[in-house]
Each structure stands twice: as C-alpha cells, then as structure tokens.
Structure 1
C-alpha cells in the first residue's frame, strides 16, 4: 500500500441538515473519512467553504505579530499554567508530550502564539479558567486580534462540520458528541519557523517541531505550501517511515488527536507527525502555520465508543479531556515525570520509540 494523504471534498456536509442516511454524497464522504482515519489518521479537505479572504487576513496577522522585535513579542509571553500568548523559539519540545525524553530536548526552533476559548464565551456554564484562560492580545500588533478571531471562528465552524461527518463515519447517531463538545476547549496555535531565511548549517538534531501527536478530537491545519511537515506512516512493506506532506492549493490538512484515538481504541489513528527545518537547497525557507485544535469539553470523559473494543481487547482507561491535555502540555514545556503521564500514555510513547530509527 502506497502512503497517501487523501483529499476529500466535504461540501455535501455543509448543508446543516445533510446526513449519510438521506444523502448518498454524505455517505460517500463518511466512508472516505473512515478509510483515511483507519489507514493514515490524516486527510485534507476541499469544498470546505472557508473564505479565502479570512486566510489572507490570518497570514497578514501572523506577519504583523511575528515581524515584531523579539523583546516586544516576549511582553506577551504565555503565563505558566495558561495556554495563551507567545512562546519564543526553543521554549518547547513537543516530543516530550509523549512522555519520552529525546536527545534534542527543548530544541524545537519555532515560535508560536496561542489563542483560544475563554470562560467569558460560555456565560451559562461554570468553567475552570485553567482550561478556558483569557486571551493575551498584543496591542503592539493592532490588527492581530480581529483577523485571528475571524479565522478562528471559520476554523471552529469547519471543525463541527467535520465532527458531524466523523460521527456518521463511526456509525453513531449524528448527535452523539453534542453533549461532549458544547463548551469545547478550542485553541489555535500559530507558528512561525523562526530562523531567518538564508543559508544555514544545522548542528545536531535541531527540529522545527518535534515528533508528536495532537491532544484532542481533531486538528484543522492551515500551512504555507513549503516543505517541512512529515507524517509517520507505512512505507508499503509494513514498516513505518516519515513521509513529506504538503497541503494542496486551497486545502486544509486534518488530523485526529489522542482523544479520538482513545475513544475509538485506536481504530482511528492519532498519527505522529513532525516539522523538519524548512530547507530547500541548503537554505531556510519561511514557513508559517496555524493549527486549530478542537479538543472537546474539559469534563468530557474519554471512554471507548460503542463497538470499538472487541472481545478480549482492553480499551484505554477513562480520562477527562482536561486531564489528558494538562499532562501533555506540562510535558511539552518541562518533560513528564512518570507519575504525571496520562493513563494509557505508554501505548502512545511506544509508537514514538519504535519510530526512532525510521529516519
């Protein structure tokens, strides 16, 4: 089997009332998603309905903020315990979120800015600020807040369309997840691969972004069409290796997170991926991305979905969305002590370690 990230036209699901039971085009989309999630854990979508102008506004916002002087950007540095604000280059190591300690600890050279849902967005629900922290908007970049929130809203809407399709792809009633995502922890991490453009000689195992899985239900990724993203997958012989992946023109890359893998007992894959330094002919090329994380309610319990645990199998132990995220966020900043690893982390870490020799 040749490795491929399939492209899926999801336009049939843009109609709010469309379902696989009544629309054969939706049934086709659901089947394509099921196959992609079983075999790859990644797919890209077209026919998504997101306005190009919102993407252009996002790009302008990234340029406005990341173009500031480093000392200015550090004024908006993320506070400990809050996943909001600026993270300078080399301040994180995403591979550590798996509960392992690679040799290139704290060597991810990207810089990032994270925004997300706040307690104030859900007036009728009592929510912990640890999961729904206030945003830290940079007044030094006056157009940043509006442009990123407009794009955030579009990515959020797309994620809900995708969840409807995924729910039917799993053979579940279309409203199955409604009570698990109605006050979802949604976050968007905007990344800039921060070494300056030009010739560079890399020493050691410098990574753009270390190998990791995402934490929640699914991720909607916009990225410049520049080399760097790699996905771990079958090389056609049963062995796993790293494959270069780039979004198609006007497409978004979608990948599953750990919550969905745990819910499906790994029937669907939360696939390891990484970003290598974006090099072309020995030169660093500028690369930007924005990953919208659709994570689910902080108190949603992740337990095996109906029909996902066969006789004799053992499912992942129960864990809440917030507990799983908290453990992994702590790991990417400082490394995880064995007692802090989320339940079931050994299964995730084992795949990372098995991939260490994949190249």
Structure 2
C-alpha cells in the first residue's frame, strides 16, 4: 500500500515574498508538488465549480458528445486518452471537458464550446469566474517562481505571458468500472506539459506521485486532500527552463471505487514562446539537457501522443 507524502504548504499572501520564494524553490526542487493556501479563490466559488463539474458530467452522453473536443476545447469521453502510452489498457478511465482562454480568437478557429443555458443555467458564468480566479492565482504564483530562480519577478510575464495561455479542465473519474483483466488507471502516469498546474479536488483519494521517476522500481505516494487548498505541480516547460532543477513530477490517479471530481488549471506559455534553458541554470559542467522548443509545438507533440493521433 502506498504511503502518504507530506508536501510543503505555500501561503500566497505571505508579506515576505523572498521567504515565500525560498519555500517554493525548496518545494519545486524536492517534490515538484505543493499545497497553495490563501490563493484568493473564495471557498464558495470552489464549491460551486465542483458542483458545476458534477452537473455537467451527469448529462447524458449524447448531450455531452454534442460538445466533442475540437482544437483542444470541449468534451472527451471515457478511454479517449492514454497519458502513459506504454500501458496496455485501452485508455484512462476518466472523462473531461476543456475550456481554453476566455478571449479565444474565432478568426484562428479557437472557440470554446459551452452547454446551452437551457440545459445548465448559470453554469458558464461559474466556470468563467473560476477560470479568472485560477488565472489570477497563477499570475501571482509565477512571480514567486521567478524570484525562486533569482530572476526579476516579471521575468515570465515578459518572456512567456503575451498573453498567458490558460486551460481549464473539468475531470470526472467514475466509481464502478466493471470487471476487466486489464490494469485500469483513472489517469495513467504522466507529467504535465506546461509551466504550472493548479488542481482543485473534491477530497476523494486516488492522486499519487512518484518522486524519483527514473528509479526502478517506482515508488508511489498518496497525496492527501487539504480542504480549501489548491495543489500545485510543476510542468515540463518549467523543468526545461530550469535544466531539471525544478522537477516535473510523475503522477497518476488510481481508481478507488468512488466517483472522483477535480478541476485542473494549466498555466502555459504563449504558443510562440521559445522555451530554453535559463543561463543561470546551466554551465560548461551542466549543459542544457533539452534543445530550445516553441511552446506551441511541444504542446501539440504531447497532445498527439496522448490521443494517439
């Protein structure tokens, strides 16, 4: 049985920004995961968005499929994706709904899809409010991340956020899956693709992390729920910027026999941003581990693998 990991807790309202940055530096170096408190999103809104999550996924499949995923926005049904392509199962046992930037550009074909007001009255407004709240928390947090790397606090604003690229993903993991000879994962082992992820959960267990992703056998630890917090994890692009100083930690969701709902907010660079090792994170004895890559190209590459296309 997996043991529970004790993750750091970061206070986003700390008056000592440099002390908070030091705590983030330690958390990102040792775990790549931490809890965020005083993040600015009201508890009432957290509960509303979790309830809205349940309301959406309680719709019949025919209604949800009217919003089938296009341009990485919309609904994906059970088993539609496999985050770890090495596993033999048919796909991950979850369904999801993606919302991209609220200021989407129709001229580029980027348009969010929404269920009608008749079906889910007021639902869109709740989701948009949470998107804005998570984006504001992410913007504040990324300033502390910059300080943790001994950069100007606006470094990532200047380099990556013109504008920032945020995606909200509603997630539902069914409780009963039926019998199968395959090993079933709610979300198979993966690291997140972008800069940072802010995760809201409903308190149901299942989330696990592997702190040493290249070590065999892999050791998995349970991440416990702390009410009112957001769970933050570092993504691949931050790992690339920092030459693996900040770790993009492997994680997964295991079925528990209970329905599980969560909401992930992915804060990514602008698609045209070139992600390359920071000069302060490399030298002759520690050269860059990854070549520079355009953020949009990296995301598309990972998404194609995930959906097998």
Q: TM-score, normalised by structure 2?
A: 0.91
Who is 1:134 aligned against?
111
Q: Identify the residue that residue 30 of structure 2 maps to in structure 1.
A: 39
- Helix, strand or coil at the partner of 1:72: helix
Counterpart of 2:13?
A: 11
From 307, 323, 327, the equivalent of 2:297 is 323
Pair 1:95 & 2:97 matched: no
Q: Does 1:148 align with 2:127?
A: yes
**Contact 1:213/1:272 (8 A) holds in 2:** yes
Distance 1:128 1:187 in 2: 19
Q: 1:191 aligns with which of 155, 162, 171?
A: 171
Cα distance in 2, alignment partners of residues 49 and 120 from structure 1: 24
CA distance in 2, matches of 1:92, 1:309: 35
- Give 1:182 deviation, angstroms: 2.5
Tell me the alpha carbon deviations over residues 280-300 of structure 1, each in whole angstroms, 9 at most, x when there is no partner: xxxx11210010000011111
Contact 1:84 1:115 survives alignment (8 Å): yes
By how many angstroms is 1:11 displaced?
A: 1.2
User: For the structure 1 residues 253 and 10, does the alpha-carbon distance in structure 2 shift closer, same or farther, using more than 3 Å as the test?
Assistant: same
1:107 aligns with 2:91: yes
RMSD: 2.2
Aligned positions, number: 301
Structure 1 residues 3 and 120: CA distance shift in structure 2, 3 A: closer
Aligned counterparts of 1:334 and 1:158: Cα–Cα separation in 2: 33
Return the alpha-carbon distance in structure 2 between the equivalents of residues 145 and 203 of structure 1. Answer: 39
Range that drifts further, 155-164 or 311-320: 311-320
C-alpha displacement at 1:312, in angstroms? Answer: 2.7
Q: Which residue of 2 aligns with 1:75?
A: 66
| Partner-residue secondary structure (3-state), 1:241 | coil
Q: Of 205, 213, 230, which aligns to 2:208?
A: 230
Instruction: Tell me, yes or no, if structure 1 residue 242 matches structure 2 residue 220.
Output: yes
SS at match of 2:59: coil
- Alignment map for 1:210-289 (pairs within 5 Å): 210-233=188-211, 240-277=218-255, 279=256, 284-289=257-262
Structure 1 stretch 107-116 or stretch 312-321: which is displaced more?
Answer: 312-321
Query: For the Cα contact (< 8 Å) 1:3–1:233, is it kept in 2?
Result: no
Deviations 1:226-282 (A, max 9, x none): 1100000159x99741101023111110001111000001000001100011x2xxx
- Structure 1 residues 3 and 73, CA, compared in 2 at 3 Å: closer, same or farther? closer
Moved more, 206-215 or 308-317: 308-317
The aligned residue for residue 49 of structure 2 is 58
Question: How far apart are residue 310 of structure 1 and its match?
Answer: 2.8
1:143 Cα shift?
2.6
Aligned to 2:18: 27
- The answer to whether the 8 Å contact 2:173/2:259 transfers is yes
State how far apart, in whole Å, the 1-side matches of 2:87 and 2:161 are. 34
Q: Which runs of 5+ in 1 are unaligned?
A: 13-22, 122-126, 336-359
Query: Quick check: 1:307 aligned with 2:280?
Result: yes
Cα distance in structure 2, aligned partners of 1:188 and 1:230 = 21
